[in-house]
Structure 1
Amino acid sequence: MGKKSRNERETPIKETFEPLPLESKAPATVVLLLNSPEEDILIKACEAIQTFAEKGDENKVSLLGLGALAPLCQLITHNNKLVRRNAFMALGIMATNGDVRTALKKLDAIPSIIEKLSLEGGIPPLLQLLNSEFPVIQHLALKTLQHVTTDRDANKTFRDKQGFEKLMGILNNVNFSDLHAEALHVLANCLSDSESVQLIHKSGGLTKLMEFVLTPSVPEIRSGVIKCITRVAQSSESCKVLHEQDVETVLVELLSLENIGVMTSACQAVAALTFHLNSKERFRELGCISVLVQLLSRESLALREAATQVTKDFDLLIQQLYQSCPKIVANSAATLCNMAEHEIIRCSILSHGAIQALLEPLKSTVTQVLVNTARCLAVLASDEEARTELVRVGGLQLLVNLLQSHSKEVLHIACLAVNVCASDEPTAVEMCKFGALEILQEINQSKTRRNSFSELAVNSLLNSNLSFKYSLTSSLASTDIITCGFYDAGKARPGQRMLTLEELSKQPVNQRQAIIFVNKATVLPEYESNIRVWFDSLKGEI
C-alpha cells in the first residue's frame, strides 16, 4: 500500500460511540457523575441519588459527606428540563434530613431554589403535589409553599389558583393530621393579605380556626392556629368576627398552659387584639393582665418579651383605678404593683399618671383596696420621680392617714410605704409636716401596733430630716452630714409635734427660744464637720 498523504491523516473521524449504559453501585462514583457534561448521565445520576436517599437518613448523610449538595444546587439551573426536575427531586428528598437542611442554609441555597419557581409555573405544580399519595412529597410541597407565600405577589397567585381551598381540604381531613401544622404555617403567611382574610372568612375558614383552637391538639398545631388568629386580628372587620366567637376567653385559657410555645403565641395574639376596643375591654373583664404579669417571671426570654409587649398598655389598668367596684380597683392595683417590680415597666407606668390615679383608692374604706394601693405606692415610690409627683399631687397626707388605720395589714403596708417615701429629705419633711413622725412614735410605744416597718419608717424619717433627728435625740451620727437648711430649734418635748423651718418662721419672735439656722453661704466647707460638735456644746446653753 502507498504512503498516506498528510490531508488523509488529519481527516476527523465522523463516527461516534453508541450510548453506553450507566450502571454503578458506588455512591461516590454517582456523585462524581453529577459533574458530567452529558445530559443523559446527569439525568440518571440524579435519579440514582434520589433512589439512594429515599432509603434512609444514613444514606442522606452519606451523600452529604460525599459532596452531593453543591453539584445538585448547580443542576437546578440546567438547560435541560428533565435534569432540573430530577435535581430538584434529589434535593427535596435529601432536605428531609436536618443535617442536610443545615448545610443548605450554609450554602445559601434556599433563596436560589425559590427563585427558580416562577409564580405561574411554580405554585400550581406545588398545589398539585399536595394530592400525592406519598406523605414525604406532601410535606416537601408544604414546606416549599411556606417559603414561597412570604412574597405578596405569590400570595395573590396562591389565592387565584385555589390555594386556600387546597389548604382547607387538608385541615378538614383528619387523615391528614400530620400535615396540619405545616398547612397552618402556609395559611398564616397568606392571612397577612386583607383580600385573603376576606376570602377565608366567607368560606368559613375563621370558624374552622376557632374549632382548632378549642380542640386539644399537639402544641405545634395550636401555635400555628394562634399565629393565624394573630394575622387575622390585623383587620378590624375580621377582629369583629373573632370577638363574636369569644376568642379572648380561649386565648386567656391558653396563657395558663405549660407549653412555652403556645403561651408565647397566645401573648402575641392578645397584643394584636388589644388594638381593638371591644377585645381590649373583654380582656380586662377576664383579668388577662394579671395572668400576663405572672408570665414575666418565667425563664423563657421569648415568653417574657411577648408578655411585656402586651402589658405595656398601662392605660387600661390605670383607668380601672377610677372604677367604683372595689374588686376591680384592688385587682388593678395589685397587677400594677407586680408589674412595677421591673424597672423599665415601672418608668412606663409612672409616665401614664399612675400616682394621680392612686389617690382616690387611698381614700377607700375597703381593706383590700387600701392594702393593694399602699403596696403599689411603696413599689412605685422607689423611684425619685414618683416621690416628687406624690408630693406635688398631695398624696402624702393620704398615706400618713393610713398610719392611723385599725387594720394591722393596712398599718403594716402603710409603714412600709412611708419607709420607702422617706428616702429623700423633701418627702420626709413633707410627711413630718403631716404628723407622720409623732404617729409612728406612738405606734412604736404600743405592744400591739408596733411592727418592724414602723421602726424602720421612724429611722428613715429622721435620717432624711437631720434637724428633727437632732431635736429628738440630741445627737447625730458620724454619717449624718448636715447641709444648708439645717436648724436647731431646741429639745423636742414628748408628744409635741416638731415644726418645720417654714412653720417656725411664721411664728412670732420668742426671746426664750433661740433657733440656730445653718446658711451654707456663710459656712466654709472645711468647718462643716465641726458644726455638730459646736451644736453639742451649745445645746445646754439654749
Structure 2
Amino acid sequence: MKAENRKLFHELEVEKCLVTLLGSESDGPKIAASQAISAMSENSSSKDFFNTQGIPQLVQLLRSDNEEVREAAALALANLTTCNPVNANAAAEADGIDPLISILSSKRDGAVANAATVLTNMAMQEPLRTSIQSHDIMHALMGPLHSDNPVVQSKAALTVAATACDVEARAELKNCGGLEPLVELLYSKNDEVRRHASWAVMVCAGDELMAVEFCRLGALDILEEINLSVRRKNKFSEAAYNKLLNNNLSLKYSQIGYLSSSNIISDGFYDYGRINPGTKLLPLKELCFQEPSDQRAVLLINSKASDNAGFGSPTEEKAEPASGRNTAASRSAAKEKGPRKGRGKKEEEKLKEEEEILAVPKLTGESSDKEWFPPSDPDFCVYVYEVTKSILPITNIKEQIEALAKYVAEKMGGKISKEKLPDFGWELHISELKFQLKSNVIPIGYIKKGIFYHRALLFKALADKIGLGCSLVRGEYGRAWNEVKLQNESRKGATGGLPQPEVYIVDVMFHPGSLLRLQSREADLYRFL
C-alpha cells in the first residue's frame, strides 16, 4: 500500500471500519482486518488511532483457536508497537504478554516471529521487561531458538537481547539451556541471524560468569573467525567479541597481552602466560588441581581472606594486622628458627617436617565434593590494606604512582640493577614456591623475588584496588610494564587549555618510581631487551 493511499484511507476514517471488523463472528474478516491494520500502521496518525481502539481487540484475537487469526493479530501488533512505546504499553495493559508468550510455541513460524517482535518492542521499557521476565520468557524462547526458520531464529535472538538485561534473566537463560543455541546461531549463513545472535551474546556476556561460560562453549572462537571476514562481520560481532574478553580478563590478557585502565582486575584473575588464538585457557580450578611442572607459573590475584579476619576490602575499616601475622613470610620465618635445646637431632628433623607440612596451604581443597575456593593470599590482603591506608590518601596522582611503584618493588625484592638481574635468583625462588605449594598456581603475595611481569601485575592489581588508572602490557622474554597517563601542565595547548595527557611507563625494577615517557630511549630500554 502506497503512502498516499494510507493517508487517504486515514482521512476517510477507515480505521473505525477495521476495528469493527475485528469483532466479526467469522474468522475471515478478522484476518483481513488485522492484515489491513498492519498495512495502515505505517501511517503515524493511524498508529496513534489504534492505541485505544484496535489494540485491545487484537490482543483478544491472540487467544483465538484459529492459528491464522492469531498470526494476523500478532503481525498487526508487531507493526503497531514498533518504535511506539505508547502502543507497546497499551498492548501490555490489555493483558497481551501472556498470549504472546503462548504463541511462541505455535507451529506457525510467522506467528512465532510476530509474537517475538511484539515482546521485543515491549521489552524496550523496563517495567514491561520485568513483567515479561516474570512470565518465564526464557523457557518459552527455547523452541524458537532451536527453529530451522532463519526469520524465527533472528526474532528469537533479538528477544533474548531485549530481555536478558540483568543477572537474574541471564542466569535463567543459562539454566534453560539457552546459551548453546545462541552460540550455534553465530554459525548461521544468514546475516540477520548472525547479527542478532551476536547482539544477544553481547548483552548476555555482561557479567564475568556468563562471559566465561560463552568462552567455554566456543563463542569467542566463532566471533573471532566472523570478525576476520569482511563480508560476515558486523558491529555487533565485534562488540560481542570485545565484551567477552572484557568480562574474562584472564583470557584477554593471555590472548592479547593488554589490559586497559578500564579493565579492573578482580579477585580470581590469573595470568597463565601468553596463549595463541583458538587455544583453550583452562579454568583456575583445573589449574590448581594440576601437579607442579616446569611450565611457567600461573600468577593468581585474590584478596579474599581465608577467614573472617581478612583485609580483602579496601572500603572496609579493619584493625591493622600484627606484623607478619598469618602471612607467608611469617610462616617461612618460623622454619628458619634455630635448633631447640634439649631435643635430639631426629626429633628436631621430625618437628621441622611437621612445620613445613603445616606451612603449605591446601590450594586444591580437601575434597572435590566441597565447595571450591581459589587459594587464599594473606600477604596480598595485607598489601591491599597497606596501600589503601598509606597511598590512597595521597592527593597528587603522580606521587601516588611513584609511591606505589616503590612499594611494589620493595615487596618483590627491591631495586635491581641491570647488571645484577641475571643473578637475582627469581627462577629458583619461583621453583621453590611451586614445590612448597604443590601447584603451578602461585598467589602473587607469595612472590618475594619478582621481575618485570610479576611486578607489573602486582602494580596493576593494587592500582585497581585504590582506583589508580593504569594499563598492563605484556612484552617478550618475561617483560611486562604499566602505562599511566599524566597531564604535563607546563605545556599549554594552542587555545590555552591543557594538552592531551602524555603516556608514561612506570619503572618498578631499576629505578622504582621513575616515570619514563613512552617511546623515549629510556622507555624502550625498559620494555625491550
TM-score under structure 2 normalisation?
0.50
TM-score under structure 1 normalisation?
0.49
Q: Which has the higher helix share?
A: 1
Q: Decide which structure has the larger Cα Rg and report it.
A: 1
Which structure is richer in relative contact order (CA contacts within 8 A, separation 6 or more)? 2
Q: Which has the higher strand share?
A: 2
